[in-house]
Structure 1
Amino acid sequence: MTFMKPRLHKLGLVAVAAAIGAAALGAVNVEPALASSCTLGIGPKTPEGNYEVGVNCGTNITITGFSLYGSDPAFDDYRGTWTGAGATVSRAVLNEDDSWLDDTDEIYARVSGRDQFGNSFSGTTQIITRKF
């Protein structure tokens, strides 16, 4: 028979309780309620020199539109607005920092949409940092 040290036994019980709690939460289909839980995706450059851009907020959210911004210390650069959840954009839209001092671009989206009950929401996605 193997005995666990009391501290390890308590940690084991905490891990089991956390797993049960996570399983219980996983059994409920919870979708993001706010656009702040949305994600921005930017695909690789196409042969035509454009990029596929899209936002996703889960299966129970309908995206009505999004605007792209370049994050900068003083003020954020507005890059354009599109309806729906995706668009094809030129490099010029994403290339918001092109000086020799700073040529790394920081792009995020402000998203608007409706949840499954018709409630509206808006918020921002994460920032994607790349050189476009």
Structure 2
Amino acid sequence: MARTIRGITRCLSDTTLGGVKMKRGDWVEVGLASANRDEAQYDDPESFRLDRPDMLNHVAFGAGAHICPGASLARLEGVTAIETLLDRVAALTPLAGFEYPPLPANLTYGDLPAHITWR
């Protein structure tokens, strides 16, 4: 039971979450970097895996009344991009000597050079 304003969350009533008691009015800090990395919810939560069961069980687009209105479009764009890549590229190999950041940190707008073998 919380109300969120600009990323700051305040409890609306006394509650217990994860064994931690909170009183009405307490400030709660939410670590967004830990979203989707709950060991109790996911096997190997630190690994980027496309083969997880229940692929839609995540908070990437919010939930409920606060779900991103573009979530369906974003998913469609992702599927289209991957399908197009797989249709056009025979091989995608890392470049020797380039230090790639670990997943999922490399899912950014920065350059990730690679050798592409086109179909």
Structure 1 and Structure 2 fold alike (TM over 0.5): no
Higher relative contact order (CA 8 A, sep 6+): 1
Give the TM-score normalised by the residue count of structure 1.
0.24
- TM-score (structure 2 length as normaliser): 0.25
